[in-house]
Amino acid sequence: MRIAYFDCFSGVSGDMCLGALISAGWPAAELQALPQRLKLEGVRVTIGEARRGPFVATRVEVEVGADQPHRHLRHVVAMIDAAELDPAVREKACAVFERLADAEAEVHGSTREKVHFHEVGAVDALVDVVGTIQGLRSLGVEEVYASPLRLGRGAVRSEHGLIPVPAPATTLLLRGVPVEMPDIDAELVTPTGAALLTTLVRHWSGEPGFTLERVGTGAGGRDLKEQPNVLRVLIGERASAGLTRRRVAVLETALDDENPQFVAALLPRLMQQGALDAMVIPSVMKKGRPGMWLVVIAEPDRVDPVARALLRETSALGVRVRVEERYELERRAVEVETRFGRIALKVASLPGEGERAVPEFESVRAAAERTGRPLREVSEAAIAAWRQGST
């Protein structure tokens, strides 16, 4: 699987995404033809080089020569639907604008149908959004990852006067996303950049292991005195089929004065808060008291709600957190038909060795209770049915 990793150490904007993808090998002619495909009159795309610190990066600018009308979400979606685009590109582009419209509506206390995209800004955003998604598809990218987003500080001028950085819509779009607040007086993440990445990125948990093939560098519109204002995109193939490496957060706390029944009831609620796994390990605490060591594994962007749940629902006064890397097998969920009914299984792909299946225990238990048969018998029947269907 080919992946793209956006290295956002100076934030992200739509034009930086375009520049990075052109730098990584997306043909410039495809981007320059996009305004015509979107039926945008008086709009052209210029592509050049810009030096940002030690980097010579690709700078993309959308030039708007003709007056543009106010556009609501329905107008933008209609333009995307009418364009000569791959259906997958069209679907993702519409999803980005829907996210953007929802954020703007929340800021203004309105609805996505009533908010409008500003004249030039709507044209810019159309080219940025559709172009980025088209560029990723042209480069064969199937999955997108990104680093934590650096937001910047200060204020920017808008039609409503000065507004704080990050902009209100950007802030809403980035809920649940890992961010940093460097002491840089600039808008590093734009609403379009935020809407793009929050739509395209599935996991904000670090890049998986991959073989690097292409590197692209896109330039932002201004120089920063603190650091180069560029966005890098790294594109390549996963290092080994079926095996990925990514970052997870590990939360731990030790309990020596808690009711074990309460802790047992807490574990499923932690899973609802976003934990990937949760376990309790018997331990001997200070002064020889028996206790429990509670360990939770979660996505890095779910650390806060999981930690709050631990502190709220146990006697713990603190929770330790660290970020680690783990290898994972690719897996998928399937169901098989047995004489005991349908049973759910989880099938994992082992690099170079095929697949293995494990029945989901709750599914096995439900079938065993329904039919009055032993758990082992139901589980073995599910494995046999999967083997027969996979040959």
Q: How do residues 255-274 score in pLDDT, each as one tens digit?
A: 988 999 999 999 999 998 88
User: How far, in Å, are 43, 52, 284, 345, 386 from residue 333 at the CA level?
Assistant: 47, 47, 39, 6, 12
CATH architecture of 245-328: 2-Layer Sandwich (3.30)
Give yes or no for residue 66 having a pLDDT over 80.
no
The residues facing 277 across adjacent strands are: 297
Question: What pLDDT does 296 receive?
Answer: 96
pTM over 0.85: no
Q: What is the DSSP letter of 383?
A: H
Question: What pLDDT does 159 receive?
Answer: 67
Distance (Å, whole) CA 342 – CA 291: 41
Instruction: List the chain domain ranges.
Output: 2-241, 245-328, 331-390
Question: What pLDDT does 119 receive?
Answer: 41
Per the model's pLDDT, the better-predicted residue between 140 and 238 turns out to be 140
Residue 120: band (very low, low, confident or very high) from pLDDT cuts 50, 70, 90? very low
With left for phi above 0 and alpha for psi between -120 and 50, is residue 6 left, alpha or beta? beta
Q: How do residues 126-175 score in pLDDT, each as one tens digit?
A: 999 999 999 999 999 999 999 999 998 887 776 667 788 888 889 999 98
Per the model's pLDDT, the better-predicted residue between 354 and 372 turns out to be 372
Distance (Å, whole) CA 314 – CA 308: 10
Residues 127 and 32 sit within 8 Å (Cβ to Cβ): no
CA 333-96-189 angle, to 5 degrees, is: 110
Instruction: Give the pLDDT mean for 183-207.
Output: 86
Question: What pLDDT does 1 receive?
Answer: 80
Question: What pLDDT does 230 receive?
Answer: 95
Per the model's pLDDT, the better-predicted residue between 286 and 128 turns out to be 128
Give yes or no for residue 121 having a pLDDT over 70.
no
Residue 280: name the closest of 269, 297, 270, 267 by CA: 267
Distance (Å, whole) CA 221 – CA 223: 7
